[in-house]
Amino acid sequence: MELYSPEYFMNEALKQAKIAFEEEEIPVGAVMVCRNRIIARAYNQTEKLTDVTAHAEILAITAASNSLGAKYLTECELYVTLEPCVMCAGASFWAQLGGIHFAASDPRRGYGRLKEGVLHPKTKISRGLMEKESKALLDAFFKKLRN
Amino acid sequence: MELYSPEYFMNEALKQAKIAFEEEEIPVGAVMVCRNRIIARAYNQTEKLTDVTAHAEILAITAASNSLGAKYLTECELYVTLEPCVMCAGASFWAQLGGIHFAASDPRRGYGRLKEGVLHPKTKISRGLMEKESKALLDAFFKKLRN
């Protein structure tokens, strides 16, 4: 079995973010990885679904649980192009996610602004992978929105 | 038009919690009220849907947005039988909910354990309405689970 790198997975998440961009959604994408395999892909669809809960992370958790037939995702790692918000961090707590890798930070709306931990103690965090690419996509989106 | 009381709405939320109880879900129920009318009813379905994000509040927000065709629920008030968790509080932030009324408190998993505000500044909170009834239902559920 081919072993994929974190860069490969984050690039797949970035592809999802690019689909969001094309569909005029805030460009955030995610993939859920379980034992070196992508079991769910999702991008932000809050506009299309008229639903503030349709963040890439929430859709990826729901799809991954559906794929595995399991509520808890302790063996799964989420690759997401932007730091999760409080809602999504709270969802990852309930799912007991094995790990979250996020690209760009979100100082304003990211869960990291909270002083107290909201993640599950089992959830390992890594940040900054392909940050530049994710940020460039977000910046391009907001620039286009302003014009 | 008949004007309904907060007790009426919370009792409707409690009816949803009772459906959850019957279906062996943690008994939490919610209704979304917009201009004195219930536009969504939901109960916790995390077991049935194998999805940790299927809390009553999330389902009610999604259903209400669908009903109104609007992402923001500034004119809506959520009646829910248990204090929302961090995930659901985060969802209510994005929805800019007009108000949340919750019955029982949840010192362990409720958003209130966080020292920093996670709700939207527009969201008014009231607590304790029909707390006793909601707590009795939750206690009965966990007692049954242990036996």
- Say which residue, B6 or B116, is predicted with more confidence: B6
pLDDT exceeding 70 applies to what percent of chain A? 99
Helical H segments across chain A, by residue range:
6-22, 56-68, 86-95, 131-146
How much is the pLDDT for A21? Answer: 98
Give the catalytic positions of A in this structure: 57
Contacts of residue B132, defined as CB under 8 A and 6 or more positions apart, other chains included, come to none
Write the residue in B69, B71, B115 that is nearest to A52 by C-beta. Answer: B71
Residue A113: pLDDT band by 50, 70, 90 thresholds?
very high
Q: Please give the single-letter amino acid code of residue B111.
A: Y
Which runs of E-coded beta strand occur in chain B? 29-34, 37-43, 76-82, 99-104, 124-127
Cβ distance of A65 and B71 shorter than 8 Å: no
Contact of B101 with B9, CB cutoff 8 Å: yes
How much is the pLDDT for B1? Answer: 63
Residues from chain A that touch B74, judged by Cβ atoms under 8 A, are none
Q: Please give the single-letter amino acid code of residue A139.
A: D
Could you report the per-residue pLDDT of A29-86, keeping only the tens digit for each?
A: 999 999 999 999 999 999 999 999 999 999 999 999 999 999 999 999 999 999 999 9
Across chain A, mean pLDDT equals: 97
Give dist(CA A137, CA A81) in Å, integer: 10
User: A interface mutation test: which of B94, B106, B114, B115 has the most A CBs within 10 A?
Assistant: B94
The DSSP 8-state label assigned to residue A111 in this structure reads: G
Which whole number is the average pLDDT over A2-12? 94
Using alpha carbons, select from A61, A67, A65 the residue that is nearest to residue A84: A61
Give dist(CA A24, CA B138) in Å, integer: 43
Residue A1: pLDDT band by 50, 70, 90 thresholds?
low
Could you report the per-residue pLDDT of B59-86, keeping only the tens digit for each?
A: 999 999 999 999 999 999 999 999 999 9
Contacts of residue B79, defined as CB under 8 A and 6 or more positions apart, other chains included, come to B6, B9, B10, B12, B13, B30, B31, B32, B33, B101, B102
How much is the pLDDT for A116? Answer: 86
Which whole number is the average pLDDT over B10-18? 98
Give dist(CA A73, CA A10) in Å, integer: 19
